[in-house]
Amino acid sequence: MSTDQYPCVFKVDLDKPAEHQPFHNRWHPEIPSVATIQCGSVYTLETIEWTGGQIGNTDDAKDVKTVDLSRIHYLSGPFEIEGAEVDDILVVELIDIQPLKRQPFCYTGVFAKENGGGFLSSFYPEAAKIVYDIDENNIATSRHLPHVKFDGLIHPGIVGVAPSAEQLKEINERELELKRTAKNTEDVSAIGPLVKGAHAGQAKGELFERIAREGLRTIPGRPENAGNCDVKNITAGSRTYLRVNVPGAKLSLGDAHFSMSDGESSFCGAGEMSSIITIRTSLIKNGVDRMKITNPIFLPGKLQKEYPLNRYLTFEGFSVDETGEQKYLCANTAFKQACIKAIEYLRKYGYNDYQIYMFLSSAPLEAHIASIVDVPNACCTLGIPMDIFDFDISPEAEPVKLDMGNCAFVTGADHEVTFDFDKLLKKTKLKNK
């Protein structure tokens, strides 16, 4: 569809550093609005890839290893929604979302364990990257992941509104409390405000300093203002319902994904790209009270390609971890096990573990909580559409090992590309005897 007939309320300049453009990368009620949007009218806006151009279309993952995570989630907005009042519900209708034609690629990364990490970084601590080329029909293929091809399931990772001043204070308090009391010091439990790397659009002087000091980081989605919820089904045709916390709502969008698996496990895990989004907004007056909508809700968009359900090879994971330790109804452990089992299965075709880890994160896979009550085991599933591969991965087909090339690592660095889960299990059992 042509988007030229609609007014564009946010343009991205790919040749100019993101920090010199009116993006913002913190949530705060006082970030100045960049434009006003009328309900019922259609607009386009452009978004930049989430690191603001720090990671590029190359065969070296050095950019992933050294990425500055204080400067991420450059968001387009905030947009003032005319007529939006506190406790209304803002409806964001996503009419269309397309890759920015001026930058027809997306990438998926594994952050180095010491700089960002990810869901499986205890097993895969090295920085790595897969770059996908996007063709004119929105089909992705990659020189870093041969024999794989899939359609875009294009969506914004971030759709959010400004929190109120009161919510801002509450959120900062509860997240910093978690950080203070976290038992596991190895994992980052919560990320408080950070002045370094803060960007607040056109805010200057004292206002900028206050926003940088108090502004919420954009990593987690939140009940009050949504944000980085990373829901892969907020595609074209979707409707997202957000509570309005400040007059004018102050809507922002960004972090577009060409595709993503449920879970986005590798953290830098979707097909990260720049985009052009077409939206229309409306309001449900006093919707918080009348409709009892307090958390974000949404109606999914239409999938651009649905694989038949019976073509999803589906891995089951349980809350018994990789060392054999029994956990109590832990969906996190169960999902991790489903991912590990998929890696072990796909390895036999010639892919290395990092290629599969990034595939499991960025391809349009379906994950579900199968059960959360059957004590002591939660069961999570991860389904891979078999038709994404140009060879047969079904359990009945004789496995054929192919030349799968390699993903991008840091050039010259030495690293293991396979993790021996069997060995870990045997070792732990022996130790526990």
Interface with Zn ion (CB under 5 A): 50, 157, 255, 270
Q: Are 84 and 249 in contact (CB under 8 A)?
A: yes
Q: Are 10 and 275 in contact (CB under 8 A)?
A: no
Dist. CA 275–CA 257, nearest whole Å: 8
User: Rounded to the nearest whole angstrom, what is the least distance from the CB of residue 156 to Zn ion in the complex?
Assistant: 9
Dist. CA 207–CA 413, nearest whole Å: 44
179 CB-near residues (< 8 Å, 6+ apart): 189, 190, 191, 192
Nearer to Zn ion, 269 or 317 (CB): 269
C-alpha distances (whole Å) from 215 to each of 67, 158, 257 are 21, 16, 24
Nearer to Zn ion, 50 or 74 (CB): 50
Dihedral class, residue 52 (left if φ above 0, else alpha if ψ from -120 to 50, else beta): left
| CA nearest neighbour of 393 among 318, 312, 285, 327 | 312
Nearer to Zn ion, 89 or 408 (CB): 408
User: Rounded to the nearest whole angstrom, what is the least distance from the CB of residue 5 to Zn ion in the complex?
Assistant: 29
Nearer to Zn ion, 72 or 283 (CB): 72
Nearer to Zn ion, 240 or 352 (CB): 240
Nearer to Zn ion, 333 or 362 (CB): 362
User: Rounded to the nearest whole angstrom, what is the least distance from the CB of residue 216 to Zn ion in the complex?
Assistant: 17
User: Rounded to the nearest whole angstrom, what is the least distance from the CB of residue 259 to Zn ion in the complex?
Assistant: 11
Torsion of CA 278, 251, 26, 126, to 10 degrees: -40
C-alpha distances (whole Å) from 92 to each of 12, 23, 49, 97 are 21, 20, 21, 13
Nearer to Zn ion, 255 or 322 (CB): 255
| CA nearest neighbour of 245 among 203, 288, 284 | 288
User: Rounded to the nearest whole angstrom, what is the least distance from the CB of residue 260 to Zn ion in the complex?
Assistant: 8
Nearer to Zn ion, 88 or 264 (CB): 264
User: Rounded to the nearest whole angstrom, what is the least distance from the CB of residue 339 to Zn ion in the complex?
Assistant: 18
User: Rounded to the nearest whole angstrom, what is the least distance from the CB of residue 2 to Zn ion in the complex?
Assistant: 27
User: Rounded to the nearest whole angstrom, what is the least distance from the CB of residue 255 to Zn ion in the complex?
Assistant: 4
Which residues are paired to 27 by β-bridges?
Answer: 216
Nearer to Zn ion, 147 or 155 (CB): 155
Q: Is 119 exposed, middle or buried (0-12, 13-18, 19+ CB in 10 A)?
A: buried
User: Rounded to the nearest whole angstrom, what is the least distance from the CB of residue 39 to Zn ion in the complex?
Assistant: 28
Residue-wise DSSP of 229-285: ---TT--TT-EEEEE--STT--EEEEEEES---TT-TTEEEEEE--EEEEEEEEEET
User: Rounded to the nearest whole angstrom, what is the least distance from the CB of residue 253 to Zn ion in the complex?
Assistant: 12
16 CB-near residues (< 8 Å, 6+ apart): none
Torsion of CA 99, 102, 107, 112, to 10 degrees: -130
**Pairing status of strand 239-243 against strand 251-257:** unpaired
Nearer to Zn ion, 50 or 351 (CB): 50
